[in-house]
Amino acid sequence: MEEKTSLKDAFAEFKKQKNIDRNTMMGVLEDVFKTQLAKTYGSADNFDIIVNVDRGDCEIYQKFDVVEEVENPATQITVAQLEEMGEDDFEVGDEYVKKIPMKEFGRRGILNLRQNLQGRIMDIERANLYNKYLAKKGDLFTGEVYQSWNKEVLLMDEDHNELHLPKSEQIQGEHFKKGDIVRAIIKDGEMKNNATPYIILSRTSNEFLEKLFEQEVPEIYDGLITIKKVVRIPGERAKVAVESYDERIDPIGACIGVKGARIIGIVKELRNENIDVLQWTSNTQLLIQRALNPAKISSITINPEEDKIKVYMHPDEVKKGIGKGGCNIRLASMLVGKEIEVWRDTPAEEEEEDDVLLSEFSNDNADNEEYGRGIDQWIIDRLQAIGCDTAKSVLAQSKEDIARRADLEDETVDEIFDILRAEFED
- Same domain for 289 and 379, yes or no, is no
Residue 294 pLDDT > 90, yes or no?
A: no
Residue 3 pLDDT > 60, yes or no?
A: no
Instruction: Tell me the average pLDDT across 27-35.
Output: 83
- Same domain for 362 and 316, yes or no, is no
Residue 145 pLDDT > 60, yes or no?
A: yes
Residue 385 pLDDT > 80, yes or no?
A: no
- Same domain for 47 and 108, yes or no, is yes
Burial of 78 (0-12, 13-18, 19+ CB in 10 A): middle
- Same domain for 121 and 22, yes or no, is yes
Measuring CA to CA, how many Å separate 245 from each of 33, 222, 282, 286, 296?
61, 12, 15, 19, 28
pLDDT for the residue numbered 2: 45
The angle formed by the CA atoms of residues 264, 266 and 271, to the nearest 5 degrees, is 95
Domain count of the chain? 4
Q: How confident is the model at residue 267 (pLDDT cuts 50, 70, 90)?
A: very high
pLDDT for the residue numbered 320: 87
Q: Quote the mean pLDDT of the chain.
A: 85
pLDDT for the residue numbered 274: 94
- Same domain for 127 and 249, yes or no, is no
Residues 6+ apart with CB under 8 A from 387: 311, 318, 322, 341, 342, 343, 344, 393
Q: With contact defined as beta carbons under 8 Å apart, do 371 and 411 qualify?
A: no
Residue 393 pLDDT > 60, yes or no?
A: yes
The boundaries of the domain holding residue 319 are 226-339
pLDDT for the residue numbered 88: 82
Instruction: Tell me the average pLDDT across 62-90.
Output: 88
Q: Which amino acid would we find at residue 220?
A: I
pLDDT for the residue numbered 147: 93
Instruction: Tell me the average pLDDT across 99-123.
Output: 80
Q: Three-state DSSP class for 242?
A: strand
pLDDT for the residue numbered 255: 95
Count CB neighbours of 380 within 10 A: 23
C-alpha span between 331 and 395 (Å, rounded):
22
C-alpha span between 256 and 233 (Å, rounded):
20
Q: How confident is the model at residue 257 (pLDDT cuts 50, 70, 90)?
A: very high
Least confident of 50-64, 102-116, 364-378: 364-378
CATH code at 165?
2.40.50.140
- Same domain for 18 and 124, yes or no, is yes
Residues 6+ apart with CB under 8 A from 268: none
C-alpha span between 65 and 77 (Å, rounded):
6
Q: How confident is the model at residue 161 (pLDDT cuts 50, 70, 90)?
A: confident
Tell me whether residue 69 is in a domain: yes
C-alpha span between 414 and 393 (Å, rounded):
15
Measuring CA to CA, how many Å separate 61 from each of 32, 51, 83, 103?
15, 11, 19, 14
Tell me whether residue 349 is in a domain: no
Q: How confident is the model at residue 19 (pLDDT cuts 50, 70, 90)?
A: low
**Pick from 189, 180, 210, 188: nearest CA to 270:** 210
pLDDT digits (tens, 9 = 90+) for 223-237: 999 999 999 999 999
pLDDT digits (tens, 9 = 90+) for 304-334: 888 889 899 888 888 888 888 889 999 999 9
pLDDT for the residue numbered 341: 87
pLDDT digits (tens, 9 = 90+) for 178-189: 999 999 999 998
Tell me whether residue 138 is in a domain: no
Chain center to CA of 371: 55
Tell me whether residue 231 is in a domain: yes
Q: With contact defined as beta carbons under 8 Å apart, do 185 and 214 qualify?
A: no
pLDDT for the residue numbered 9: 59
